[in-house]
A and B are shown apart, each in its own frame.
Chain A
Amino acid sequence: GAGVSQSPSNKVTEKGKDVELRCDPISGHTALYWYRQRLGQGLEFLIYFQGNSAPDKSGLPSDRFSAERTGESVSTLTIQRTQQEDSAVYLCASSLAWTPPGQPQHFGDGTRLSIL
């Protein structure tokens, strides 16, 4: 069975451009999570989805960041007017459900975003 798939794997863009990152979760996983990881550091929570709704968007750094999920499957993370500080690896994870706590999250390999 396929794992979590993210695309593109690498993205280089100029400051000020918009970027869209895609995540395909494991089939049947209702919960989906986005994280940001700076070089050699831990994961910074951005947003999570239960089905197509996002009960917790508290980690989105600014209003330039948005995310959506459709069909309880694919999710896209959009960053508008990118800044150099947005450069990082963006990781997506999915799990069977969003409750109860303690369930394992399955990660994709991330999108490495570089803003010139």
Chain B
Amino acid sequence: TQLLEQSPQFLSIQEGENLTVYCNSSSVFSSLQWYRQEPGEGPVLLVTVVTGGEVKKLKRLTFQFGDARKDSSLHITAAQPGDTGLYLCAGDRYGGATNKLIFGTGTLLAVQP
């Protein structure tokens, strides 16, 4: 059973366009992390959101945690070819005691120059 569903699965856009990636669940998470993974490398942490309704900005990337802590979104403004990669959300279960993360299904983004 996949607890975290990401959409879309694949996204190919032109440089300069905006996009949003969604991470949805029926479960509540204490916190949610977003990672980016480039080919041949391991995922790299972009941000952690911990409070329902929280919004964090990282340059052209805006992350939001849903009020109910069941979903999250990643918005990229004016995408660049360097944004290309696999975006993964990962959450830890509400009430869990450990750092065991549940990873989403992934969104593969390709930004064409």
Q: Which residues of A contact B (CB under 8 A)?
A: 4, 31, 33, 35, 40-45, 48, 50, 55-56, 91, 93, 95, 97-110
Contact = CB atoms under 8 A, between A and B. Distances in A.
A99 B99 CA distance: 6
B21 to A, nearest CB: 13
Contact of B105 (A41, A95, A97, A104): A41
Given A41-B106, A43-B88, A93-B42, A102 B48 contact: yes
A55 B98 CA distance: 10
14 contacts: A31-B99, A40-B106, A41-B105, A42-B88, A42-B104, A43-B88, A45-B100, A45-B101, A45-B102, A50-B98, A56-B100, A102-B30, A106-B45, A110-B41
Nearest to A44: B103
A44 B97 CA distance: 20
B99 A97 contact: yes
Nearest to B6: A42
B68 interface: no
Q: Which range contains the number of B residues in contact with the other chain?
A: 20 to 34
Contacts of B40: 109
Given A55-B98, A102-B48, A43 B103 contact: yes
A102 B33 contact: yes
A109 B43 CA distance: 8
B56 to A, nearest CB: 14
Nearest to A3: B42
Contacts of A42: 4, 6, 88, 103-106
B86 interface: yes
B50 interface: yes
A102 B92 contact: yes
Nearest to B101: A105
Interface string B13-49: 0000000000000000011010000001111110010
B96 interface: yes
A99 B98 contact: yes
Closest 6 interchain pairs by CB?
Answer: A107-B42, A101-B92, A102-B31, A43-B103, A42-B106, A104-B45
A104 B48 contact: yes
